[in-house]
Chain A
């Protein structure tokens, strides 16, 4: 069964600190992996999209890594800011996505950045 597990469920860090969020998935056959940021009460916004052949991708202070062999991904946030407080959602994509809509959404990690 295609599944995705994110850890931790929630995390509190101080402003300026770094953090790493984890994602394990069992989607197969696997095509790509996306990370989204969702502010409270808003729709998700794409941070990164990686294909199965990519190991890392950065978007400003956000760096995603992918190990397609172990089916693990992480999102590293550097020098956190108060505006990073949000839920971060890992989304592995099935090879038959697109016209068939086979995206599996994780439940997200809720990050709170405190001053």
Chain B
């Protein structure tokens, strides 16, 4: 069964901490994505990557960075966590090209206190 695995389901971090969210996919997908989902706002794209060591900013990249050193792994980094980054974070992956299916992870519920 193909899957996208996010390292944590729930995280609680303190303001100012550096936070790492890890995502691993086993489908040999070229593309990987990080979204955040907030009530009433739907999914918003933070960063995406279409190849190893490549990254592109999405709609809301401020306060975040990413790393893709291996094809199967895409990490989201909160350099200095703030309370407005409390959210559900979803990782997704897909093959390259138009109309390809996205496979999502189960999500990480991050709370910054």
Q: Across the interface, do B31 and A101 meet the contact criterion of CB distance under 8 Å?
A: yes
A interface residue count range (under 10 / 10 to 19 / 20 to 34 / 35 or more)? 20 to 34
| CB-contacts of A73-102 with B (<8 A) | 89, 93, 95, 97-101
Contacts of B16 in A (CB 8 A): none
Which of B40, B56, B58, B109 makes the CB contact (< 8 A) with A107? B40
Contacts of A108 in B (CB 8 A): 42
User: From B92, which residue of chain A is reached at the shortest CB distance?
Assistant: A43
Over the window 50-81 of chain A, the binary record of Cβ atoms lying under 8 Å from chain B Cβ atoms (1 yes, 0 no) is 01000000000000000000000000000000
B interface SS class: strand
Q: With an 8 A cutoff between CB atoms, is B74 at the interface?
A: no
Q: Across the interface, do B98 and A32 meet the contact criterion of CB distance under 8 Å?
A: yes
Per the bound structure, the CA–CA distance linking A31 and B99 in Å amounts to 7
Q: Across the interface, do A46 and B106 meet the contact criterion of CB distance under 8 Å?
A: no
Per the bound structure, the CA–CA distance linking A105 and B37 in Å amounts to 10
Q: A42-B107, A43-B90, A106-B42 are in contact. Are A49 and B58 (CB under 8 A)?
A: no
- Beyond the given A44-B90, A98-B50, A107-B42, please list 11 additional residue pairs across the A-B interface where CB-CB is below 8 A: A32-B98, A34-B101, A41-B107, A42-B106, A43-B4, A43-B107, A44-B104, A46-B102, A51-B99, A89-B43, A98-B100
On B, residues with C-beta under 8 Å from A are 4, 31, 33, 35, 40-45, 48, 50, 56, 58, 88, 90, 92, 94, 96-107, 109
On A, residues with C-beta under 8 Å from B are 31-32, 34, 41-46, 49, 51, 89, 93, 95, 97-101, 103, 105-108
